[in-house]
Amino acid sequence: MTDTDRSAGNVTFPRIGSVGLDGLLVSFGDRLSEAGNRAALAFRAAVERESPEGVAETSTSLVSTFLRLDALHADPDAVAREMQALLDSRDWYSADLPQGRRLWRIPTIYGTDLAPQLEEAAEEAGLSPETAAREIAGTRVRVQTIGFAPGQPYLGELPEHWNIPRQQALTERVPVGALVLAIRQLVLFSVSTPTGWRHIGQTGFRLFRPEAEEPFVLRPGDEVIFDSVEREAYNRLCDAGPDGGATCEAIR
């Protein structure tokens, strides 16, 4: 046990687990936390710097670092031991956020036929739709990880009353640019896909531009404000290009 261990129930963090035959997951918690998120990002950066043998690629999820191994040539136990030594080398929960972070403002329509689940989500949170929309538009959220679909951010963290579960059944399809909500987090969809999250807002922001020089727009650590706009302004901004009227400035 080191002083970086965090306990949740009977599981101690950080811990190393297996994902499929060729994946290792280094988890810094079983719920979202600011410190766990910073730890995951910093730990991945350290693994990338060390580039241990047998590790084919790495990524982060909310509070975990994922390592894909070269299944046929790597020794998973040896890599896990190396990761344990790296875990023990410092207190990852006190790591800094990544450098070069930016603040994005993304124009958003809340509710209406474009985002039909605002009312449902607001009711789950015990708020009126108007209050819910105002509250979310007024919250500066941070990109905790990019995942699920290309360039797609998980953003948070929202206040406790937004700890609403995913739906039992999946929504068959939400459009590109959909802002969805569950378990105190927002996700901005980069593709059109089925989801269990509730569709509360709609943007014209393209997160993945396969042919562009920078195909993936947002980065972990970036912050976002989903400014509320009227329908007419929204339509105009969507026509203007892939940013959907979004602006970006460096965070100093």
Partner 1 sequence: MSRALIVHQAGPGVTVQDLGRPGYLAYGLSRGGAADRLALYEGAALLGQAVDSAALEMAGMGGTFEATEDIRIALTGAPMRASIDGAALAWNASHPLHAGARLTIGPATAGVYGYLHVGGGIATPEILGARSAHLAAGIGAALAAGDTLPVGPDRGRETGLVLDADDRFSGGEVRVVAGYQTGMFPDEEVARFEETRFTRDARGNRMGVRLAPDGDGFASRAGLTVLSEAIVPGDIQVTGDGAPFVLMSECQTTGGYPRIGAVLPCDLPRVAQAAPGTALRLRFVPSDEALAAERRAAEARDGLRRRLTHLTRDPHDIRDLLSYQLISGVIAGNEEE
Q: Which residues bind partner 1 (CB under 8 A)?
A: 17-23, 25, 27, 30-32, 44, 56-64, 66, 68, 71-72, 76, 145-152, 154, 163, 165-170, 176, 183, 190-191, 193, 196, 208, 210-211, 215-216
Residue the block writes with tokens 């930016």: 102
Cα(133)–Cα(179) distance, integer angstroms = 12
The DSSP bridge pattern shows strands 153-156 and 102-105 to be unpaired
Task: Tell me if 151 sits within 8 A of 208, measured CB to CB.
Answer: yes
Q: State which residue, 111 or 203, has the beta carbon closest to partner 1.
A: 203
Q: State which residue, 71 or 233, has the beta carbon closest to partner 1.
A: 71
| Least gap, CB of 36 to partner 1 (angstroms) | 10
| Least gap, CB of 89 to partner 1 (angstroms) | 22
Tokens of 252: 């100093």
| Least gap, CB of 52 to partner 1 (angstroms) | 16
3-state secondary structure of 144: strand
Q: State which residue, 64 or 202, has the beta carbon closest to partner 1.
A: 64
Tokens of 14: 């950080």
Angle at 208 between CA 194 and CA 175, to 5 degrees: 30
Task: Tell me if 26 sits within 8 A of 83, measured CB to CB.
Answer: yes
| Least gap, CB of 185 to partner 1 (angstroms) | 8
The stretches of the chain forming alpha helices (DSSP H) are 34-50, 76-88, 118-125, 129-137, 231-239
| Least gap, CB of 25 to partner 1 (angstroms) | 6
- Residue 92 is classified by DSSP as G
Q: State which residue, 106 or 143, has the beta carbon closest to partner 1.
A: 143
Query: Shortest CA distance to 125 belongs to which of 143, 145, 139?
Result: 139
| Least gap, CB of 32 to partner 1 (angstroms) | 6
Q: State which residue, 167 or 228, has the beta carbon closest to partner 1.
A: 167
Q: State which residue, 12 or 112, has the beta carbon closest to partner 1.
A: 12
DSSP characters over 62-76: SSEEEEEE-TTT--H
